[in-house]
Structure 1
Amino acid sequence: MGEQRGRPLIVATAVMVAAVFAVTGRIIGFDRALRLISGPGVGETWFDHPVYTIAESAVVLVLVFAHAWRTPVLVAVPSVVALVLVTEHAAFYRPHISLSRADAVQLMLILSIIMAAGGLLLRMRERSRAALAAAAEERARRDERLDMARELHDVVAHHVTGMLVQAQAALVVAAQDKDKACEMLPGIVEGGTDALGAMSAMVRTLRDNGAATATTDLAADLHRLAQRSGLPVRTNVELTADVRPELGRSVLRIVQEALTNARKHALGATSVEVDVRLTSSVVLLSVVDNGRPGPQHSGGFGLVGMRERVHELGGRFFAGATGEGWLVTAELPLEVRT
């Protein structure tokens, strides 16, 4: 594209350089023009008319501007130099009516510098815009990768953790009661089936560029999530109005991750309370357990993912020990952050 765009300018520059020198030779004589000897003109010609001189200078300056703006550097530099040299040659050796030779040379040099600077300014501006656009595109890709990583972690960690807990329990009781251990196998199979289904749903969502939503009935999904968590969960959901699906998905994922963390790290937990309430401007949610925080309860990617998800929505997030267990709270605004 750059070469094709520069070819007409190269041709025009070559023609203009030849034309300016030819006119100079026509006015003062080719012998003087080639030997760089100044003197009177060889005869009166219409090329001496100020209108032609102005038009010729304007075309040269436009070409200088165009090269500084558009053509590749290896083409722009010799083209601009050739145009300036042939124009300065003409300004010095041609006779002028209203300007001295020195004034004509200085004027054309100043105008050429101004036009070249203007073209370079536009070139730099376009490059800056292209760099900003590339940075924005890369930032969008990075955000998309982070979102995909969080979604993958939320889905896989929730289901696989449940399967792991049941498998570990089956191993513990297998030595004393194999029948009871076998009774736990259907739960593990169900957890694996749910994991595959969730993964398929997530892949469909990503393939559709996020058009699909994770929840259309947030209250029902929250109750279902609590029932399947394998924890003694008590839920309190107060939603007096519909929540937009994208926000509902974030609420569901945060509660899901909080329950997953409670199942993995809340040692000896006998109670987990999930509270989700809707106010006029925000969704308030909290998940609190009464277990003893395990060695990894204060960190991990799960907390990082929840915090990032909340901050992207312009909300506030807290997670930490309460003295009697572990608390996760979030405040998510109803309006989309701009």
Structure 2
Amino acid sequence: MTERTGDPAMNDDDLAARMVPGSPFAAVTTRIDRALNRVGLRGELGRDTALGVTVGAISAGMTWLLLLSLEWLEGTGLPLGSGIALTFVMIAQSLVLCVRRRYPVGCLLVTTAFQVLIVALLPPEVGLQGLAVFIAAYTCGLRLAPLRLTVALVVGILLHGVAGGLAMGALAPPLDLPLSMESGLVSRSALLAAGVPTYLLPALIGAYVGTRRRYGALLRLRTAEEIRAQRERAEGAIRAERSRMARELHDIAAHHLSGMVVQAGAAERLVGRDDDAARQAMAWVRSQGKETLTGLRAVVGALRDPEEESGGLRHRGEPGARGAPVPGLATLDRLVTAERELGTDIDVVREGDPYELAPIADVTAYRVVQESLSNARDHAAGARVRLSLRYGTDRFVLEVENGAGGSRVTEREHRGLGVLGMRERAQVVGATLDVGATEDGGWLVRWELRVDREDER
């Protein structure tokens, strides 16, 4: 017997996101995302533009740091015009990141072309790698399918190594640096070899992150679907339980109204022959009783489940004739006998002077006992069950307690949803229901109803 858990006001997707564990960096990512939202950067284009500007500023600083290092360490440096041109190329390469998520392959190839231009503007002995290439390769790994990613990486590596090697130092001004054919060949070979990790490592990281994100999204989607399915099953069970309650209400009303019609007909025949007014009044009572009975059957009977009409959900030991009074505590001994025949060891204890409950409360108490005994038999087979009925002066208490027992698989189709069905019935009659495990590993169901003995009489 289980109840639905979770905040009913929470969206299914939010509840699934809370249930599915995120990545180790999920908290940091969430804080960054909220910070970007606060400054107005909400879409991909706006955030990528901000990234491109930031990377451009860092790349410009790296460029001038390199130029100043050449002058300090080697005593020579690039002319001012070459430094400015190199700075503009680095910034332009970084700004290409503005479209990195919309056109990942194009972004990778364009940043690579700018990298070839950077290699051409520098002497062979001087190397400077733009940060935009790493980010573009990471984006391709994040968003591309394996085949497209492989092709993009191969083209990028070849463009970086071959074209960069051919263009190396072609636009660089002459510097007073030791240069030889051997050192030039070493630089070209190093450029070609450096291209593999430059593109491959960020792409692999991006592919891993993308796979993890897609898996997490799929897992959250599946969890949300399971939550929705569980809620639909619970709501369907509640509707079925309400339909069954309506059927029982119909049967109770039909039973009592039928008696009213019979008694009215007898009174009509016994009334004095000259008492026309009394005869007409009793005839009106009979006609109204029939009309009420017909209307009640038409409205409430429409809620019946076809399977219940055919008797498919009748319990053993329960009256099954359509229109007959539904079972109550008066037929409890028959239910206990049926459960004992099925192998359940039941002790019945009655305290106080028994009295009749209101019809709906009587049926509800019977259903609580029926569901509790069935669950004890299905989930604690062989356990001893104690059924207690305490008739107090102002309250009636019903307890069904079973000890620990061996569970077994059952194919019994429940008429309700365990605690949900019983709780739904308890709310209708104003009773309280408490369920839970006991200290010895068993299970206790306690149903308490406040009664007014004067109303009962």
Normalised by the shorter chain, which TM-score bucket? Answer: 0.3 to 0.5
Question: Which protein is bigger by CA-based radius of gyration?
Answer: 2
RCO comparison, higher one (Cα < 8 Å, 6+): 2
